[in-house]
Amino acid sequence: MSPAHFFNSDAFLGVVADVHFPGATPRVVACEDVVARTLVHRGKAVSFFWNYPFYLPPVASPGATSEFSVPYLKNVVRQIAPVNADEPPGMVPALFIRWEGFPAWEAYERFAAREMGMRSGSMRRDEARLGREFGPVHFVPNDEDPAAFQSAIEWKAEQYRRSRPGYRYYIENNLRLYRAMRDRGLLMVSSLRAGNRIVAAQFSNHWERTLLYRLSSYDVELRAYSPGVIHLHYLLQYSYERGDTEFDFNFGREPYKYKYATHVRWLGQVGTVPRAEDWNRRSRMLTARAVGWNPAAYRFLRSSEAAFGRFRRRLRAR
């Protein structure tokens, strides 16, 4: 079977396994009416971990003897609908653009300006001001300068510091995954520059004519110039002109995504999470968030968790 989506692929599942679930293997799993492809780790299907949610597109069944039955799956694609359709109860969105409905880039610009409120005139004025102040504005779709990767991480870390408890846990876990994807050629780092200054940066995965939009950040000192909006506009145009079929905004209901998307994948849970497992996951999440503000407590938590994991593995090996 040749997976059609990045989240089904050996490339993605392999890097997630190596970073977060050592020893896990890709498998086709079945739960109720859903057949999906994900990791199986210690006898359980991986369909969610709290700092990095991802969704599971269904796949064709290879036959019952090849499937691994699981009690639940989270973030499964249950419906696909136009972005302005009614929201199904109990589901969360993964918004995306289908490029096939636009015969030219200018047609999408008109759609976004009319239907979603994208203010192209204001954006172009901001870009002109940015250029006058700091030098010509230019978009680099695949920026191999290490400074682009580092800038994206530092700006996002500062955003987390301001908005999220437990930000150290977010940063460390996501950084490990992004570095691993970058080292394996799975991560595209794009940047927006004004003269020689990096003013915005973004991480994406480009897979099977789909651009998967991930971490996005910009220099907050220049927020009056809207560098993040300008960068996203260039990235959208790059995806369209490259011949992609989709621009996928991924999991989440951030308001800005609704300004650009044409469709939405509605994600839901199938099956039932065992009570003990659900409690354990929630307690780990709350603990990590609580100590995230305290570097010493955070380091102690991580070292204790690692030591306990080593102890459990030694017991199993006897």
Residue ranges and CATH numbers for the domains of the chain are 93-268 (3.40.630.30)
Q: How far is CA 259 from CA 174, 216, 312, in A?
A: 26, 16, 48
Collect all residues with Cβ–Cβ distance below 8 Å to 282 and sequence separation of at least 6: none
d(CA 279, CA 273): 10
pTM for the model stands at 0.84
For residue 134, with 0-12 CB atoms within 10 Å meaning exposed, 13-18 middle and 19 or more buried, which class applies? Answer: middle
Residue linked to tokens 């006058």: 132
pLDDT the model gives residue 2: 45
Q: What confidence tens digit (pLDDT) does each residue in 9-23 have?
A: 999 999 999 999 999
pLDDT the model gives residue 137: 97
pLDDT the model gives residue 160: 77
* Residue ranges for the chain with pLDDT beneath 50: 1-2
Q: What confidence tens digit (pLDDT) does each residue in 120-165 have?
A: 678 889 999 999 999 999 999 999 999 999 999 999 888 877 766 5
pLDDT the model gives residue 197: 96
d(CA 191, CA 228): 10
DSSP-H helix ranges across the chain: 10-20, 105-111, 120-134, 146-163, 167-183, 227-242, 255-260, 275-291, 295-317
